[in-house]
A = this chain, B = another copy of it.
Amino acid sequence: MKPTLPQGTRDFLPETVYKRNFIFQIIRSQFELFGFEPLETPAFENLETLMGKYGDEGDKLIFKILNNGLERVEKHQQANEDFQKVLQGKNVKGITERALKYDLTIPFARFVAMNKNQLNMPFKRYQIQPVWRADRPQRGRYREFTQCDADIVGSDSLINEIELLQIYINVFQHLKIPVQICINNRKVLAALALKCGGIHLLTDITLAIDKLDKIGLNQVVEELKRKQLSDDAISTIQQYLSFHQNNTNNFLLLSQIETLFSNIDIATKGIKELRFLFNYFQNIQFDVTLARGLNYYTGTIIEVKPLDIQMGSIGGGGRYNDLTGLFDVPNVPGVGISFGVDRIYDVMEEKNLFPPHIHHSAQVLLINFDNQYLNKNLEILSFLREHHIACELYPDSIKFDKQMKYANKKNVAFVILIGEDELKNNKVSIKNFATGKQQSVSKEDLISILEPIANK
């Protein structure tokens, strides 16, 4: 049997792990500098916690876990009946009760709903964990990928939005990725739907206008016609989109939209929120076509895209007024952002942004000449490690050349040689792998030579 990886999944080799950790570390340290604390939830949740939260399309992409013990004879009849229901598109407990988490937000909402009374509100948590989706794999889209989320719940202050936008700015500055951060407000979109005939039109409208930059105005209008929108509605939407196409000045856009929706309360609120944020950020772009798929957003919505590179969004988030309402715990407003680490990784690879010396692995190899030097070798190993110098002894006393080949492939900085002479003189030989320079030194002198490559 030739083993393979499941489609859409990856092994991460050491270099990749180091690079991913470099990204995680920058995100984590910003989260912590901003007062967010880490939370972790299980890989799987009860099925009913996840189902119905991501729309019909989402439900289908949730990985469900087969109940264990179905093969037991006394369970056969019930299992069979339940399976017939599965085939009809209904997921039922008899066959699957658990599912892999699809994002970090819903499990977080479940956590808040369960623990609300014990939490110090406003509660600020960050979470860096993998999620799973049965999506068709493609460039930048995997079935297992890692999300880095920060959310604040229990406060509807816009200061939270300011803080989260600042985190985006700081993180991408540290990663050296030039980005465009766009925001919009669901209240403005709601106003657009209201003006077009009712809030029930919101999804149809946002799905269509979201494509403006890709397919152009004419195609968007065609799509809206297919959705049976009235001519009046379509002309309103055309006007709305024309602002977007004609200028990128946030405050000008705001006043145009203000005029368009002058008599709609919810628009006034949304515009006020946007104006407040734009006062604090010069480099954030108002994008009236930005919608964000998830229905639980109710205020600010945010999306981050890398500049000068063809890649989907590498970050996104927004405000939700009532996320835990899904779990019958009302009145917990919140706002959150997410980093798409797998795509950030791809951008950094493509732009060559990772620092050159990113690994922590052993940079010192002790050559194994013979077991008669083992005691001395072990002594040096533990002496170096006490000084935080990562090192290893080649485990087999094979040919010198082969050991040097291993050292070369492993990219070590130094090799240490202990043979008869060294043992006699109570010295060790150390060879700089890059320069080829070799010297015979005392155990103590080793430390000063190797100090620069010690692990902090």
Q: Is the CB of A80 within 8 A of B87?
A: yes
How far is B391's CA from A124's CA once the two chains are assembled, in angstroms?
A: 12
How far is B126's CA from A18's CA once the two chains are assembled, in angstroms?
A: 13
Chain B residue at smallest Cβ distance from A130: B43
Q: Is the CB of B45 within 8 A of A6?
A: yes
How far is B6's CA from A436's CA once the two chains are assembled, in angstroms?
A: 58
Cross-interface CB contact of A61 among B49, B66, B68, cutoff 8 Å = B68
Chain B residue at smallest Cβ distance from A365: B35
Flag A117-153 by CB within 8 Å of B: 1 or 0 each. 0001110110000101010000000001000000010
A33 within 8 A of B: yes
Flag A338-378 by CB within 8 Å of B: 1 or 0 each. 00000000000000000000011110010010000010001
Q: Which bucket holds chain A's interface residue count?
A: 35 or more
Chain B residues closer than 8 Å to A100, beta-carbon distance: 43, 65
Flag A42-78 by CB within 8 Å of B: 1 or 0 each. 1111101100000000001101111011110000100
Chain B residues closer than 8 Å to A45, beta-carbon distance: 5-6
Q: Is the CB of B360 within 8 A of A32?
A: yes
Q: Is the CB of B38 within 8 A of A327?
A: no
A111 within 8 A of B: yes
How far is B97's CA from A201's CA once the two chains are assembled, in angstroms?
A: 40
A119 → chain B closest CB, angstroms: 9
A251 within 8 A of B: no
Given contacts A33-B391, A71-B89, A170-B385, 16 further A-B contacts (CB under 8 A): A3-B113, A4-B46, A5-B42, A5-B46, A21-B38, A32-B362, A32-B390, A43-B130, A43-B132, A64-B66, A64-B68, A66-B66, A80-B87, A120-B410, A160-B395, A166-B382
